[in-house]
Amino acid sequence: MIDMVRNASGVMSAEEKTFVPATEQPKAIRVARIWLAIYVATIALAVAMGSILPLMLIGLPRLYGAWHHVMTGLLQHGGLADNVIDHRLNSRTVYMNPISRFIYWNMNYHIEHHMFPMVPYHTLPKLHAMIKDDLPEPNPSILHGYREMLPAFLRQLRNEDYFLKRELPRRPSPIAKTSTTMRWHGPPNRRRTNNKTKWGRETDEHLDRRVRQGRDRRRGCHPLRS
């Protein structure tokens, strides 16, 4: 709130100038003034109505709702590896109660969200069910997540290089097969099988084999080893 009032008065702090480009500073000041006007109008409306209801909708949610945002947000990456490519190592999926999931927009499926950022929030539970065999074991509850995360935070105070190491599945997950699964690889009338250059569609059996070989190679296994 103090920063917003300062910005609304046309002043940007030295720290803010390090990450807000000079060309964007007038916009930041304008937005701060708009929000300040909204808060002032809300307070005036609450006084005029003799009711706290307007403030329950604008302003006070930052006080009575922010705790949940912080509580769930810390679980996203807290105590995990940093600067790694594999999102399974730097993100955490936590099973939560339906109320927290609703408020949090299913962001408790955070590994899935980072691996497939274009998947809408309401589909994340379904995505989790599809790929969970390739992910680290999820934390079964918020409390379990904090019991894992807080000791890591304390160790990081003494050793900033410490992080929790996630155990990844050693074997690829089984691939669901359906009789209608086909992949297009070029013009019709010719097929591509094994390593021969042929055109056509790829059957379930070939698709299964190709995906397993790719996953085995990524895991350092021989592609033909079961």
141, two tokens:
């509850």
**Run of H or E residues at 118:** none
Query: End-to-end CA distance of the chain, in Å?
Result: 60
> Kind of pairing, strands 201-202 and 183-184?
antiparallel
**130 contacts 175 by C-beta, under 8 angstroms:** no
Residue-wise pLDDT tens digits, 141-190: 999 999 999 999 999 999 999 999 999 998 655 544 433 333 434 444 44
- Give residue-wise pLDDT tens across range 36-69: 999 999 999 999 999 999 999 999 988 888 899 9
Please report, for the chain, the start and end positions of each structural domain, with discontinuous segments joined by +: 2-64, 66-158, 172-226
Best CA proximity match to 99, nearest among 54, 76, 65: 65
Report pLDDT for 216: 61
Answer for the pair 161, 80: CB distance below 8 angstroms, yes or no. no
For residues 75 and 8, what is the distance between their CA atoms, to the nearest angstrom? Answer: 34
